[in-house]
Amino acid sequence: SAEKYIIIENQYLTARSIVDMLIEAANKAQGPEIIIILPEMAGGWLEKRTMGALQTMALQLLTQNDPHGRITVLYPYDSKRQLLRKSLTVHSKLILVDQTFLSIGSANLNNRSMGFDTE
């Protein structure tokens, strides 16, 4: 039901149900702007091969299905560590929709959290 904007800040974005909902919103003729804030890369080697790979696929789906150019993905960056090329971890879980819905919680937007966490 978002009309103006959806802002998501999360550690992961891999849940297909959320990706599909964002694609549906992005395809509306008068749909919302969608801003997604994520870590630029996953942590350790195992996380990179699992969550990182799934998130890369999710972001590819979003960019391929954004006919009106309203999806923006942002990554936090510490300019003081520019020479080290160190990305920052996002651990927050926030969703803001228009000026009507706000969720601040602890569940990631991945299948495990969407299926087993109580939020």
Indicate the pLDDT class of residue 117, thresholds 50, 70 and 90: low
CA–CA gap between residue 51 and residue 112 (Å, rounded) = 11
Q: Which of the pair, 53 or 79, is modelled with greater confidence?
A: 53
C-alpha 47, offset from chain centre: 16
Q: Are 36 and 73 in contact (CB under 8 A)?
A: yes
At 119 the pLDDT is 53
With a cut of 70, say whether residue 47 has pLDDT above it. Answer: yes
Write down the pTM of the prediction.
0.85
At 85 the pLDDT is 57
Rg for the chain (alpha carbons), in Å? 14
At 36 the pLDDT is 96
Indicate the pLDDT class of residue 42, thresholds 50, 70 and 90: confident
At 112 the pLDDT is 64
Mean pLDDT over 49-77 rounds to 92
**What amino acid occupies position 1?**
S
CA–CA gap between residue 8 and residue 14 (Å, rounded) = 13
